[in-house]
Each structure stands twice: as structure tokens, then as C-alpha cells.
Amino acid sequence: MVSKPTQFEDGFRMSVNALDVENVSVSHNGALAINKISFNVQEGDLLGIVGPNGAGKTTLFRAILGLQTYQGKIKLFGYEGSQYTTLLSMIGYVPQKVNFEPNFPATVYDVVAMGILSKKRLVKGASLIQSCGCCWNRIFSTSSKDHEKIEEALKIVGLESFKDRRISELSGGEQQRAFIAKSLVKEPLLMILDEPVTGVDMDVQNKFYSVLRKINKENKITIVWSSHDLTAISDLATRVACMNRELFFHGEKEEFFANKDMLKTYSESAMQLHMHKHDM
Amino acid sequence: MNLDILSYGFMQRALLTGIVVSITCSMIGLFLVLKRYSLFGDALSHVAFGGIALGYFFNIYPIWTAFAVSVSTALGITKLRKSTKISGDAAIAVLLSSGFAMGVLLISASHGFTIDLFSFLFGSILLTSMQDALLIVAVSCGVIVTLIAIRKPLIHFTFDEEQAKVHGIPIEKLNYLFVALAAVTVIATMRLVGILLISALIVLPNITSIMMGKGFKKTMMISISLSVSAVIAGITISYYFNLAPAGTIVMLMVAMFVGTLIAKHVGMFSTKILNENNLSATN
């Protein structure tokens, strides 16, 4: 079943969300992992998703990425079905931890090069995006060669001097930056980051957040990002979704942080935010 | 020593097939080692033993039956693993024992071909016929060309299956193709070192080259160089000193591995190996 974006009679197309999640439920062995989650992500948004451990954030991401069967509807730029699958390869995904063989003989450059999409896929994706009236915020010029794309992506994440080092020699934060670069070289329509800096120190987290800000503001890439760090969410996100198997809130950042009850639900994170404000 | 070794047809065939097979083993072996399938080659070779016994039993060219049995079993066990969630090592154990059991059963059911079977068990590179040599070279070249063609998705798939799937790589089809190539490689290698030593050719040059701390391409090139050197030196040494070529080749590879391990221990190579994830290495 393929649904196309609505076209008006005057030829203009309705603006389409980058991502639509409609009544999505996932169950594991009969138990509901997420229940009827609905939200949307507009182009250029940086949506922060918060929720306690076990809230189903990773399950939700896996459903969006086609790694998990689900009930409900998920649309990418208004598309479902085979067109969704075509666009899926243009999502940049950075999981909480990439489980690779520690002795894998890949340099940072090799890993980033894995993210390069074939020209055929890029052309197919571009025609779908054009036909739904959206603009594709390409990071690289269409004439860029693969090598130039890789070098540029490494520069964006600040790892250009690490390119010849093995990926396993990097710290956790540096590895995550390398995986962001791997996502960037595919010229993503959307990036999904699943608690990407959990367990790394504050300095590395701050470097990571500055990369996030840069690719959202300068490269205009739409980002969906889950985190327990409410301070970072309040600093970086444009919109916030709050979930614990069900969606409790989805809207503007200011509205979320003005809602004391919502913050109390996540007291630990709220305390973190309070301390941050106090420090300021 | 002079180069009269090259004037013999059997030595030319041995060196040619040895070099081609060692390149194939190194290439496919790197992926097997990184996917933690190091013993998959060993298991497939035991299945191939059953296939060879089957060929002799029904009086069919044994290499064909070995191909048929190994490839179909490799694909079948991959399907079984996926549908029943059997772990990799358990699948290898099933393959290894069932293949060998089939061979032993067929040997016991008939008589008269055990000498030929032993040449498959322990290798007989110097006895390679022209028919075998042509088949081995053709098959190996096919595997090499296919691996070069699918190298990018295969590297991504080996690094992280889920990321590869999100990237749009058809990982299931790729996995079936890969295990089929591995099965074909094992059959092509049997003549060189025999069923019992195949995994050495697949694993040793690769774990040696991985220790040297280079990127993927260089690691593969080093592995190929080590493997080809060991095969040429092994065949030559075995000719002049009247030793078993298979054992000589594998012992040379073991020596390279131990030498590299010592060199690494004294700090000649910078990367860490066989450690857990080094999260705090640098900042």
C-alpha cells in the first residue's frame, strides 16, 4: 500500500512531515513494549525523545528503521511501502552502541566509507523527495567524489586527524562521532540517534553535542534523538517527546519544560536540569 | 638449489593451484574470522568428506559430489540457524559431526577406496591431476571475482549486520551467497592441505595480518602475501626435503603467526588485539 502526498489543484503540494508515526504498537512475546505511539517530525526539527530505561525508545527506533515488526503506520516524507524502503537507506542511524568485533581491521576512514550510498540509490531517493515537494538538504555537492565526502564528514565531526587509526583504538565518544560521520556521508534525509553518548564523560558529551548542533543548524538535517540528559535536550532540541511505553507529551520544548508534573515524573533528570540552571 | 623444480608438470600444477587457492582462502577467511565463523571452514570440510565418500560410493567424480553436498548443507544450516536461533558454534558442531559421520558410514558400507579418501583427508597437492587443477583454478577465480564484486556490502555486513540492513543491503541474500562461496572455497582447498588442515589456511594468515594493526584493505593484502609465501615455500621445502606439503605449509603459517605474536609483544605493532573494547584508549 503506497500513499502519496496530497497534491493541490493549483499544482502546489502540501508540506509533508519528514516522519509520521501513527498508532504504532510493538509487542514482545505478548507484552506491549510500546502502545499506540503517534507523533510527527517536521523537516529541520531536532526532536528530543525522553523517557526512563525500558520506555521503548529503542524499540520505537527499530520499528522506524524496519528492524522490528509493528502494528500501525510509519511514513517517511509521506511514503509507505516500497518507497519507504527506498528512503530507509537514506536514514542515518547511530545506535547506543555499535556491536562490532573489537579486532575488526577497519580504520576510521574505512568505517565512514561504509556509509557511502550508491549513486543509483541517491538518484532514486532524490526523485522521491522532489516528487513530494520537500527539499533535500544535501551536505555535499552532487559532483563530490566519495573520497571528498568522507574527508568532509570527518571534518564535520572533528576526526580528520584520526582517519588512519583503527576504529577500536578510539574512545567511546570518538567512535560515536565516527559513526555520525558514517551517517553523514550517505547525505541523510533524517538522522536517528539512540542515546549516542550514554556512558561517556562530560567533555566528550559536550564535543558530541556541538557536532549535533552543527549538523542540525548548519546542514539543516532533521534529527530524532533520545537521551536521558534533559540539560542537553533543553539546550539543543527544538521539540520534545516524552514516553514510557505510551506517549505522554509531544510538542514545543518550552511547553515541556514548563510542565512541572512532567518533569517530576523523571525526577532524576529534572534534578539534573535544576542543578544546571542553578550553576548558571 | 636450482629451479629444476619448475620443470616438472606436477610441480607447476601444484604451485599454480596452491597460489590461487591460498589467495581465495585468505580473502574468504578474513570475513569468516571477523564474523567469528573461524571453524565454519573446518565444519564444511568435514561435510565435504561425506560428499567425497558419496561420490566414490556411487562412482561419481568426487569433487562434484563434495561441491553439491557442501554448498547445499551450508545453505541449509544457515537457514536452520535463522529459523531456529541455533548458535553459531552449535551449528558448526552439527555440521562437523554429521558430515564426518556420513563419510565414515559410506566407507564402512563399501570397500576399496580408502586410499583415495586419505589423499583428501591429508592433502595431495603434488598428485593434482590436470582435470583437478583446472577445476580448482576456475572455481577459485570465480570466488575471487565474486568477492571483489561484493566486497563493499560484505565488509559492511561483516562489521555490523543491523547497520548494513538499514543501509539497504539485502543481508539474507548476501549471507547465503557468502556461505556458498565459503563452501566452494573449502572444496577447492581440499587438495592442497587436506580436509583436516583447511581451517589453518583460512584462519592463520588472517589472524596474523589482523595483529599488524592496518586497515581492511592492507590487512587482506598482508594476509594474501603471507598465505602465498607459505604455500610457495612449503611446496618447495617439501619437495627438496621429502616432507608432506600440507604439514609444511601449515607449520610455516604457524611460524609466521608466532613470529608476529612475538613482534607484537615486543612493541613492533601499535594496535591492541584480543582485548575487550578499549573505550578509554585515547581522548
SS3 state at A6: coil
Nearest CA in chain A to B212: A105
**CATH class for domain B15-196?**
mainly alpha
Question: How close B153 gets to chain A, by Cα (Å)?
Answer: 8
Terminal C-alpha separation, chain A? 52
Residue A256 C-alpha, separation from nearest chain B C-alpha, in angstroms:
31
pLDDT of residue B282: 34
> Residue A27, exposed/middle/buried by CB under 10 A (0-12, 13-18, 19+)?
middle
If interface means Cβ-Cβ distance under 8 Å, which residues of chain A face chain B? 65-67, 85-86, 88-89, 91, 93, 95, 98-107, 109-111, 114-115, 117, 121, 164, 166, 168-174, 186, 200-201, 203-204
Q: Where are the alpha helices (DSSP H) in chain B?
A: 9-34, 40-57, 62-84, 88-109, 114-122, 130-149, 151-159, 161-166, 171-193, 198-210, 216-241, 245-265
Furthest C-alpha separation in chain B: 67
Handedness of CA B174, B177, B181, B183 (dihedral sign): positive
Residue that has been written with the C-alpha cell 539546550 in this structure:
A235
CA neighbor of A77 nearest in space, from A189, A186, A1, A185: A189
Q: What mean pLDDT is predicted for residues A113-120?
A: 88
For chain B, the structural domain boundaries read 15-196
B209 contacts in chain A (CB < 8 Å): 105
Helix or strand run (H / E) with residue A34: strand A31-41
pLDDT at A271: 47
**Nearest to B224, CA basis, from B128, B140, B161:** B140
Alpha-carbon distance of A181 to A196, in angstroms, equals 13
Q: Which of B34, B168, B275 sits opposite A104 (nearest CB)?
A: B34
d(CA A140, CA A149): 7
Which of B152, B160, B217 has the most A C-beta neighbours within 10 Å, making it the best mutation to test the interface with A? B160
Task: Answer yes or no: do A105 and B209 touch at CB < 8 A.
Answer: yes
Q: How far apart are CA A235 and CA B11, in angstroms?
A: 72
pLDDT confidence of residue B115: 58
Reduce the DSSP state of residue A71 to 3 states and report it: strand
Q: Are A116 and A207 in contact (CB under 8 A)?
A: no
Kindly tell me if the per-residue pLDDT of A245 is higher than 80: yes
- The shortest CB-CB distance from B160 to any of A88, A98, A102 is to A98
Q: Taking the mean position of all CA atoms in its chain, how far away is CA B221?
A: 16
Q: What CATH class is the domain A19-226?
A: alpha beta
Q: What are the b/e assignments for A206-241, b being 16+ CB within 10 Å?
A: ebbbebbeebbeebebbbbbbbbbbbbbbebbbbbb
Q: How far is B208 from chain A (nearest CA, A)?
A: 12
CB contact under 8 A, B215 and A117: no
CB atoms A186 and B167 under 8 Å: yes
> In this model, does residue A3 exceed pLDDT 80?
no
pLDDT of residue B114: 62
Position of cell 613492533?
Answer: B268
**Res B265: pLDDT:** 87
State the nearest Cα–Cα gap between A20 and chain B, in angstroms.
18
Bridge partners of A107, per DSSP, are A166
- The alpha carbon of residue A116 is apart from the nearest alpha carbon of chain B, in Å, by 9
Q: Render the burial of B251-261: b for 16+ CB within 10 Å, e for the rest.
A: bbbeebbeebe
- Model pLDDT for residues B82-122, shown as the tens digit of each residue: 777 777 778 788 888 888 888 888 878 876 656 567 777 87
Residue B34 near chain A (CB below 8 Å)? yes
Q: Which residues of chain B have pLDDT under 70?
A: 1-3, 111-116, 269-283
pLDDT at B270: 58
CA angle centred on A86, ends A80 and A90, rounded to 5°:
110
Q: Give the minimum alpha-carbon distance from B214 to chain A in angstroms, rounded to a whole number.
A: 6
What is the value of ipTM here, to two decimals? 0.83
Q: What residues contact B8, with CB distance under 8 A and at least 6 apart?
A: none
From B220, which residue of chain A is nearest by alpha-carbon distance?
A105
Q: What is the CA radius of gyration of chain A?
A: 19
Q: How confident is the model over A51-60, as a mean pLDDT?
A: 90
Length of chain A: 280
In this predicted structure, the answer to whether residue A14 has a pLDDT above a threshold of 60 is no
pLDDT value at residue B279: 36
Is residue B205 a contact partner of residue B223, using CB atoms and an 8 Å limit?
yes
Residues of A in contact with B152 (CB under 8 A): 114
For A69-116, what is each residue's pLDDT tens digit? Answer: 999 999 999 998 888 988 998 999 999 888 898 889 999 999 999 999
B248 or A130: which leads in pLDDT: B248
Chain A nearest CA to B33, separation (Å): 9
Do β-strands A19-28 and A91-94 pair in parallel, antiparallel, or remain unpaired? unpaired
CA-to-CA distance for A179 and A184, rounded, in angstroms? 9
Residue A135: what pLDDT? 74
Helices B9-34, B171-193: inter-axial angle, 10-degree rounding: 140
All structural domains of chain A with their residue ranges: 19-226
Cell matching residue A241: 517527546
Residues 210-269 of B with CB under 8 A from A: 210, 213-219
Distance CA B232, CA B242 (A): 15
CB-based contact B216 A89, cutoff 8 Å: no
> Any CB–CB contact under 8 A between B85 and chain A?
no
Cβ contact, residue pair B279, A106, below 8 Å:
no
Is A235 a residue whose pLDDT tops 50? yes
CB contact at 8 A, A175 and A97:
no
